[in-house]
Amino acid sequence: MHSLIHHSLSDGMPVPDSECKIYKTLRSGEASHADDEVMWRADGSQFPSEYTPHPVHRDGELVGCVVSFLDITQRKLSEETLRQSEALYRGIFDNSNEAILLSCPSEDRFLDVNTRACSMLGFSRDELLSTPLSAIHPHDLPALEAFAASVFQLGSGWTNELTCVTKNGSHIPTEISASAIDISGKPCIVALIRDLTERINADHAMRELAVLEERNRLARELHDSIVQSLYTMTLFAEAGVRNADHGDTVKGTQYMERIGETSQQVLKEMRLLVFELRPLALEQEGIVGALSQRLDDVERRAVVEARLIFDEPISLPSRMEEELYRVAQEALNNSLKHAAATHLSIRIATNDGLVEINVEDDGVGFDTDLVNQSGGMGLRNIKERMERLGGSFTIISSISSPGEGTKLRVRAPISDPQTTGEPAHP
């Protein structure tokens, strides 16, 4: 009978008579219980079961037992599914290239950490699990508490305001993406942490290179325009003196007039060079304030009727504002230097995650095909800046249509400040 009922233990080993719970009950007269054994069905199939033999007494004598069986096939399938899910989770968790930490802020401790987190922070797994959460962010505790509260309230969150301190005391700038999770009734946080050190170093290197390129370009501008014009003025002055010495006041006056005209041009070009530097208004007021100041200080002083039209509010990441300001500046410089325009407008609008800037003037225009081939008039700079922003630009202009002027339109996706770690100007 034993072999007809029992197939095996849960580990696949045969069930010895001595371990049979039914025999145990028949021998002891006490109920027993088996959590997990494999039993035979009458049709020859097998199934996992949980069973309990209950003794049966008659007139005080043990005469047998009643066994209640429970088919636990579904429970075993659920357990296997859970085991596979846990194995998959553990594989992803441990082998992720990102540092992942599971923490319980209310208890100030880590519940689980992966290999990358240990490597980034310089701890062994046991050391990190015994290290308080606050010890990793000792200088940012108010920000840490505020971030945790926000994650619990919203369900998830992102920050780049927390610095991690490693085992050797080094400080790592980080970007943290976190989600709230409940574990055994405790509010916990699973956080994915990225080390921003390389990104920040690369950004600094790019900025230094950009500064060097701007300095070289300004030096060329000074040499090619301002220095040349000043030298021309000295020649006019010498010629005027010679004519005055010979009593030719008419020619002397003409040279003086040419000196005045050239000095006005030099003054105009000097203003442009000053605005090649990032104006304070761009730092303080954003692109709208900077362009407004530019139009006041340059175009309107050159007797150009200039208008700035914009949506309210314009909120862009600072680096994006810098690039777009430079693009608009190129267009304004070209108009002032070459177009002889009397009217000019700038329109800035945002819609559906895009920013669009239109610069239009009523100047003489230019041959776009010729300029595109040569890369002159700042078009190469505009193209490079728009490529960095992932945007596009179009220029409409013609020298055969006087008064039609030039129209520049640029469009770019508005990048999320969270992805760049930069503030946005409101």
Ranking 116-130, 163-177, 375-389 by mean pLDDT, the lowest is 375-389
pLDDT of residue 7: 54
Under the banding of pLDDT at 50, 70 and 90, the label for residue 376 is: low
Q: What residues does each domain of the chain span?
A: 2-77, 96-195, 197-274, 290-426
At the topology level of CATH, where does 96-195 sit?
A: Beta-Lactamase (3.30.450)
pLDDT of residue 380: 83
- Please write the tens of the pLDDT for every residue from 315-347: 888 889 989 998 998 899 888 888 888 999 999
Q: Which residues contact 71 (CB under 8 A, 6 or more apart)?
A: 47, 48, 49
Under the banding of pLDDT at 50, 70 and 90, the label for residue 186 is: very high
**Contact call for residues 102 and 188 (beta carbons, < 8 A):** yes
CA angle 327, 226, 365 (to 5 degrees): 45
Q: 2-77: which CATH architecture?
A: 2-Layer Sandwich (3.30)
What ranges make up the beta strands (E) of 72-203?
99-104, 109-113, 156-159, 163-165, 171-183, 186-195
Asked whether this chain's domains 2-77 and 290-426 adopt the same fold, the reply is no
pLDDT of residue 133: 94
At the topology level of CATH, where does 290-426 sit?
A: Heat Shock Protein 90 (3.30.565)
β-strands 343-351, 305-310: how paired?
parallel
- Please write the tens of the pLDDT for every residue from 197-224: 888 888 778 877 877 777 777 777 766 7
pLDDT, mean over the chain: 84
**Contact call for residues 344 and 308 (beta carbons, < 8 A):** no
**Contact call for residues 48 and 69 (beta carbons, < 8 A):** no
pLDDT of residue 86: 74
pLDDT of residue 2: 59
Residue 164, both tokens: 């991690």
Under the banding of pLDDT at 50, 70 and 90, the label for residue 92 is: confident
pLDDT at residue 119 tops 50: yes
The pTM of this model reads 0.44
Mean pLDDT, rounded, for 350-358: 92
* 49 backbone dihedrals φ, ψ, rounded to 5°: -145, 160
User: In the chain, what is the straight-line distance between the N-terminal and C-terminal CA atoms, in Å?
Assistant: 84
Partners of residue 65 on adjacent β-strands:
55
Q: Residue 315 in 3-state DSSP?
A: coil
Under the banding of pLDDT at 50, 70 and 90, the label for residue 63 is: confident
H helix or E strand, kind and range, residue 310 = strand 305-310
Rounded distance between C-alpha atoms, residue 50 and residue 80, angstroms? 17
